[in-house]
Amino acid sequence: MCGIMGYVGGDGASGIILNGLAKQEYRGYDSAGIALCLNGEIKSAKVVGRVSALARLVDDMPPECMEARSGIGHTRWATHGGVTVTNAHPHESADKMVTLVHNGIIENSKEIKADLTSKGIDFITETDTEAACQLLAHLYRGDALAAMTCLAKSLVGAFALVIMFKDRPGEIWCARKGSPLVVAYSGGASYCASDPTALLEFTHDLFFLDEGEMAELRPDGCRFFCFDGTRREKESIHLSWDSVMSDKGHYEHFMRKEIEEQPDVLRLTIDTHTILTSVSRERDLNLPVGMMKRVNRVQFVACGTSHYATLVARNIMESLDEEIDVSADVASEYRYRGVRGGDDTLAIFVSQSGETADTLAAARLARSKGTHCIAITNVRGSTIDRETEHTLLSMAGPEIGVAATKTFTGQISLLALLVMQLLKDRGTLSASDEARVIGGMRILPSHVHSILERESEIKSLAEKYSDSKGFFFIGRRECVPLAMEAALKLKEIAYLPSEAYAAGEMKHGPIAMLDEHLTVFAFVPDNDLREKTLSNVEECRARSAPIILLANEGDSSARDHANDVLYIPRTERELFPFTGVVALQLFAYHVARTLRRDIDMPRNLAKSVTVE
């Protein structure tokens, strides 16, 4: 949560910082602020609202502020303290010596505040961050490294801190514990940001701060330190993403652009990773040879949409190997459920950002039990990538819309291939299943393309149902995770009540809610469960609920059961979610657009959830 941008170099800092904040606005967007260092003074501007409002405020700052060659900025996702200008970052110490921005939560802020207040220091905000700011000023005696070292030891919780000292105009200091921070140096300037996408226009060689690391940024380079103050040599990581990938282009919303990129994501993933299934050893992942023969338990762990991707993977695994013991947990529960682990267990952690606090903590727990761990992430250099011995990168490219779309498709395609490799290593994947599923995956890009071509039909349907009081998404087996993802999309971007149910569960309670104002969107692929699902649909129809069906092309009798039917191409049974999700993303997008929602930055959300 929260986006941070820092710059020190030879150019005007304000434009670079505002531009960097705009690129990271999806991380949090309650309020925004900037501090610029100029002639021994630090000038700030803060606003409740978006970066565009901050830019207008910066335009009104004294003209000399545009000359500032260093500065820090922040977009906030409020945790402690309301959304007010006072609580917006940057924060300044009472003696004006320290100005800083923060992403994370300082858990011992109350204790620090009580201690400093007793020493006569006045606090003015409701935030936890101010405690770090005032404490650093209290510790600072002219030696920045010494003060930073003491501060890092004193803070409990999670933090990415970016700091300017009033008497050190050519320097920016950073510290990281628990919240991401990436640093770069290029052509006489140093930069830092929460998200690598903000730095790609300057360089693709990035330094991802590790847990317990600090950095000093100057125009002539960066130095890295451990929290105990010792110097650290650090290797940069090359990120091949193109900076135009994070541009909206001619699209009205990033989400719409990202939906359209899915055929490419599928093609790239399948072309790059079918090697996974073409070898019968764990070689590509560098897993211990023979591991899958020893493993008798597979656990998928993730949050939100990534969790739904793992449910798709779990279903594929169960469908291809009926013997295997496979589970899929949300990370925040996995940690406290007392799950089993050890050498006979493989845990697969999925996080597009690679920074989700619950998923990181779950992975650390699994490692501490001696469980074999694989991470799947979309961000090279992210914390989960660096902390997990075996990582697979999904091929979605940067995703800016807060609602995940193309990263879900990247995850499920990579997971399907990984599942097949693991089962092959285990000796339980039949050649016919392998050929069938891989063959089915190869035609997915063209299927998705044909769904995108039906956008006007999906848009009309979305407009027709956008005044519905709420939605039930129902289906069976492979359609249950699809229903969950569809319901989440509609909640996130349209703010409409939407529930996902296994179709057979409706009569056990939720059916009581149905009337003519609640729409049931049911998934009825043409397979062994079609008739059973249609019986559940009829039960809903009998309670006057309007019915939309998602069915396979050619299933003309589906029309007998519904008010409207959306047809999508036939796939292998396990692959229905791959095509279905695209139709449902478009449906959610057009409902939200009809309702004039803020689609790329829905209220109350942030793209990267770095607090537990």
**Count of other CB atoms within 10 angstroms of residue 443:** 15
Q: Using the minimum distance from each CB to ligand AGP, give the nearer residue, 2 or 402.
A: 402
Determine the 3-state secondary structure of 129 from DSSP: helix
Q: What is the DSSP string of 417-451?
A: HHHHHHHHHHT---HHHHHHHHHHHHTHHHHHHHH
Rounded CA separation 346/296 (Å): 8
Minimum CB distance to ligand AGP smaller for 31 or for 407: 407
Contact 348, 292 (CB under 8 A): no
Residue 489 Cβ vs ligand AGP, minimum distance, rounded to whole Å: 7
Query: CB of residue 592 vs ligand AGP: minimum separation in angstroms?
Result: 12
Enumerate binding residues for ligand AGP (CB under 6 A): 303-306, 351-353, 356, 359, 402-404, 492, 608-609
Residue number with CB closer to ligand AGP (331 or 462): 331
Active site residue 2: yes
Smaller CB distance to ligand AGP: residue 8 or 373? 373
Q: Which is nearer to ligand AGP, 100 or 404 (CB)?
A: 404
Residues for the chain: how many in total? 612
CA-based nearest residue to 160, from 103, 107, 217 = 103
* Closer Cβ to ligand AGP, 316 or 331, answer by number: 331
Smallest separation (angstroms) from ligand AGP to the CB of 405: 8
Which helix (H) or strand (E) segment holds residue 360: the answer is helix 357-368
Residues 6+ apart with CB under 8 A from 322: none
**Closer CB to ligand AGP, residue 332 or residue 571?**
332
C-beta of 305: minimal distance to ligand AGP in Å? 3
Q: C-beta of 404: minimal distance to ligand AGP in Å?
A: 4
| Residue with smaller CB distance to ligand AGP, 8 or 303 | 303
Q: How far is the CB of 598 from ligand AGP (least distance, A)?
A: 14
State how far the Cα of 592 lies from the Cα of 256, in Å rounded to an integer: 12
Query: Is there a contact between 416 and 577 (Cβ–Cβ < 8 Å)?
Result: no
Q: Is 192 marked active-site?
A: no
| Burial class, 401, CB count within 10 angstroms (exposed 0-12 / middle 13-18 / buried 19+) | buried
Closest to ligand AGP by CB, 410 vs 440, is 410
User: C-beta of 64: minimal distance to ligand AGP in Å?
Assistant: 41
Nearer to ligand AGP, 566 or 581 (CB): 581
Q: What are phi and psi of 255, to 5 degrees?
A: -60, -40
Determine how many CB atoms are found less than 10 A away from the CB of residue 331. 25
What is the side-by-side order of every strand in the sheet holding 470-475? 498-502, 470-475, 518-524, 547-552, 564-568
Write the CB contacts of 37 (distance below 8 Å, at least 6 apart in sequence): 13, 68, 69, 70, 71, 164, 166, 169
Decide: helix, strand or coil at residue 240: coil
Q: State whether residue 165 is helix, strand or coil.
A: strand
Closest separation between CB of residue 425 and ligand AGP, Å? 26
Give the tokens for residue 417. Answer: 């291939």
The Cα-based distances of 184 to 5, 180, 498 in angstroms read 11, 14, 43
Q: Which two tokens stand for residue 508?
A: 């056990």
Burial of 96 (0-12, 13-18, 19+ CB in 10 A): exposed
Among candidate residues 23, 166, 424, 607, the one labeled active-site is 607
Query: The tokens of 553 are what?
Result: 């092309």
Annotated catalytic residue: which of 2, 65, 303, 540?
2
206 and 236 in contact (C-beta within 8 Å)? yes
The residue whose Cβ lies closest to ligand AGP is 304
Q: How far is the CB of 401 from ligand AGP (least distance, A)?
A: 8
Q: Count the neighbouring beta carbons within 10 Å of the beta carbon of residue 404.
A: 28
CA angle, residues 318, 323, 326, in degrees to nearest 5: 50
In angstroms, what CA-CA distances link 297 with 301, 339, 341?
13, 11, 9
Active site residues: 2, 607
